[in-house]
Structure 1
Amino acid sequence: MTRMKLAAIAVAGLGLSAAQAADIEVLHWWTSGGEAKSAAELKKMLEAKGDKWKDFAVAGGGGENAMTVLKSRVVSGKAPTAAQVKGPSIQEWGAEGVLANLDPIAKAGNWDSLLPGVVANVMKYKGNYVAVPVNVHRVNWMWVNPEVFKKAGATVPKTWADFPAAAEKLQKAGFIPVAHGGQPWQDFTVFESVVLGVGGPKFYQDALVKLDQKALTSPTMEKSFDTLRQVHKYIDKDAANRDWNLATAMVINGKAGMQFMGDWAKGEFTAAGKVPGKDYLCMPAPGTEHAFTFNIDSFIIFKQSGADAQKAQSDFATAVMSPEFQEVFNLNKGSIPVRSGVSMAKFDDCAKMSAKDFADDAKAGSLVPSIAHQMAVPAATTGAMQDVVTAFFNSNQSSKDAVAKLAAAAKTK
Structure 2
Amino acid sequence: MAAQAADIEVLHWWTSGGEAKALGELIKKLESGGHRWRDFPVLGGGGDNAAILLKTRVVSGYPPTAAQIKGPEIQQWAKENYLATVTEAAKAQDWDSSLPKVVAAAMKYQGRYVAAPVNVHRVNWMWINTAALKKAGVEPPTSWDDLFKVADALQKAGIIPIAHGGQPWQDFTVFESIVLGQGGAGFYNKVFVELDAASIQSPTMAKALETFRKTRQYMDKGTPNREWNAATAMVIKGQAAIQFMGDWAKGEFSRAGKVPGQDYLCLPAPGTEKSYSYNIDSFAFFRQRQDDAKKAQADLAAALMSPEFQETFNLAKGSIPVRTNANMSKFDACAQRSASDFKSTAEAGTLVPSIAHHMAAPEVVFSGMQNAVSAFFNEGASISETQARLVAAAKAAEVRE
Matched, 1:323 2:312: no
Say whether residues 1:155 and 2:112 are aligned partners. no
Letter matched to residue 79 of structure 1: P
Within 5 Å, which residues of 2 pair with 1:37-52?
A: 37-52=21-36
> Structure 1 residues 159 and 24, CA, compared in 2 at 3 Å: closer, same or farther?
same
| Secondary structure, counterpart of 2:145 in structure 1 | coil
Q: Name the residue aligned to 2:80.
A: 96
Structure 2 CA distance for partners of 1:176 and 1:79, relative to 1, 3 Å:
farther
Which of 155, 161, 166 does residue 182 from structure 1 map onto?
A: 166
Match in the other structure for 2:355:
371
**Is residue 267 from structure 1 mapped to residue 267 from structure 2 by the alignment?**
no
Higher alpha-carbon deviation: 243-252 or 294-303: 243-252
Deviation at 1:320?
Answer: 0.6
Cα separation, 1, equivalents of 2:225 and 2:43? 14
Aligned residues: 393
User: In the alignment, which of 327, 331, 337 is matched to residue 347 of structure 1?
Assistant: 331
Matched, 1:224 2:208: yes
Using structure 2 for the length normalisation, give the TM-score.
Answer: 0.90
The answer to whether the Cα contact below 8 Å between 1:33 and 1:268 also exists between their aligned partners in 2 is no
**Which of 377, 391, 400 lines up with 1:393 in the alignment?**
377
Match of 1:134 among 98, 101, 118: 118
308-317 or 112-121: bigger deviation: 308-317
In the alignment, structure 1 residue 66 sits paired with structure 2 residue 38:
no
Q: CA deviation at 1:76?
A: 3.2
1:48 CA drift (Å): 4.0
Residue segments in structure 1 that go unaligned for 5+ positions in a row: 1-20
| Structure 2 match to 1:337 | 321
Structure 1 residues 226-305: aligned runs within 5 Å: 226-305=210-289
**What is the match of residue 12 of structure 1?**
none
Worse overlay, 330-339 or 231-240: 231-240
Output the amino acid matched with 1:373: H
Give the match's secondary structure for 2:395. coil
Q: Rate the CA distance shift 1:62–1:273 in 2: closer, same or farther, 3 A.
A: same
1:74-85 → structure 2 map (5 Å cutoff): 74-85=58-69
User: Structure 1 residues 35, 250: CA separation in 2 closer, same or farther (over 3 Å shift)?
Assistant: farther
Alpha-carbon offset, residue 222 of structure 1: 0.9
- In 2 relative to 1, CA 233–54 (structure 1 residues): closer, same or farther, beyond 3 Å? farther
Q: Once the two structures are superposed, what CA deviation does each residue of 1:133-184 show, in whole Å capped at 9, x if it has no partner? A: 1122221111112122223434322111012232233344443322222222
SS of 2:210 mapped into structure 1: helix
Q: What are the Cα deviations for residues 330-360 of structure 1, in whole angstroms up to 9, with x where unaligned?
A: 2222222212432111122212212221222
Deviation of residue 66 (structure 1)? 2.6
Partner of 1:3: none
Letter in 2 for 1:309: A
Structure 1 pair 225–72 and aligned structure 2 pair: CA distance change class (3 A): same
Q: How far apart are residue 34 of structure 1 and its match? A: 4.4
Which of 149, 152, 155 is equivalent to 1:168?
Answer: 152
TM-score by length of 1: 0.88
Root-mean-square deviation (CA), in Å?
2.2
Q: After alignment, is 376-385 or 106-115 more displaced?
A: 106-115
Amino acid at match of 1:362: A
For residue 391 of structure 1, report the CA deviation from its aligned partner: 1.0
What is the match of residue 214 of structure 1? 198
Paired residues of 1:34 and 1:271 also in contact (CA < 8 A): no
Which consecutive residues of structure 2, in runs of 5 or more, have no partner in the other structure? none
For residues 259 and 69 of structure 1, do their structure 2 counterparts lie closer, same or farther at Cα, with a shift above 3 Å needed?
Answer: farther
Amino acid at match of 2:294: Q
Please give the per-residue CA displacement for 1:36-68, whole angstroms capped at 9, x wherever unaligned: 443344334334444444433334443333323
SS at match of 1:55: strand
Contact kept in structure 2, 1:270 and 1:332, CA below 8 Å: no
Separation of aligned partners in 1, 2:85 and 2:380:
49
The residue identity in structure 2 corresponding to 1:108 is A
Shift of 1:79: 2.5
CA separation of 1:132 and 1:394: change in aligned 2, threshold 3 A:
same
